[in-house]
């Protein structure tokens, strides 16, 4: 009789399993959206940091060459010596020019439209100019 009672008590009932699965589902429904929002914020922060490092490297480039790279030369001029550029003392970046956190190339314009320095732009998650939230452009002049 004792062995029969133990074998009945040893298993997990279907109701207990459903309760556990429901608790896990509720937890996931509350936590996962917040984690995804933080991932988008992290991407924007990473884009700002990369743009900041480009601005610093472009400053060193200008000190050596007396001008910024043209739009045609782009950010690649920070890694590879352009033809007909004297006093290039690079590379000015320790690694190849990365894409933005959404895997698209940064937009580089010189002369820029926002002052005397080049414009560097990441169009955010949607890859289009403008936008709000995660689609907000990350730019060098703000």
Domain ranges of the chain: 67-142
Report the C-alpha gap between 120 and 50 in whole angstroms.
10
Residue burial 1-12, b: 16+ Cβ < 10 Å; e: rest? eeeeeeeeeeee
Residue 120 contacts residue 51 (beta carbons within 8 Å)? yes
- The phi, psi pair for 137, rounded to 5°, reads -70, 140
CATH node for 67-142: 3.30.700.10
pLDDT tens sequence for the chain (142 residues): 555 555 556 667 778 778 888 888 887 777 777 666 677 788 888 999 999 999 999 999 999 999 999 999 999 999 999 988 888 988 988 899 999 999 999 999 998 888 888 999 999 888 888 888 878 888 888 8
pTM of the full structure: 0.72
**So what's the pLDDT on residue 6?**
56
**So what's the pLDDT on residue 141?**
86
List strands edge to edge, sheet with 107-109.
Answer: 107-109, 119-122, 138-139
**So what's the pLDDT on residue 84?**
86
* Token pair 């004297």 in the structure block, residue: 86
**So what's the pLDDT on residue 26?**
81
Residue 91, both tokens: 């590379």
């Amino acid at each position: 009789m004792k062995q029969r009672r133990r074998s009945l008590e040893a298993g997990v009932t279907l109701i207990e399993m459903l309760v556990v699965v429901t608790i896990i589902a509720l937890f996931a429904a509350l936590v996962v959206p917040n984690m995804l929002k933080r991932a988008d914020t992290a991407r924007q922060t990473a884009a700002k940091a990369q743009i900041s490092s480009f601005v610093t490297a472009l400053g060193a480039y200008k000190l050596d060459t007396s001008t910024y790279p043209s739009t045609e030369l782009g950010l690649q001029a920070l890694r590879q010596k352009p033809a007909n550029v004297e006093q290039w003392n690079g590379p000015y970046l320790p690694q190849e020019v990365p894409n933005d956190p959404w895997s698209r190339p940064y937009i580089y314009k010189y002369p820029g439209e926002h002052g005397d320095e080049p414009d560097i732009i990441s169009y955010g998650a949607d890859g289009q100019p403008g936008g709000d939230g995660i689609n907000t452009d990350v730019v060098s002049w703000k």
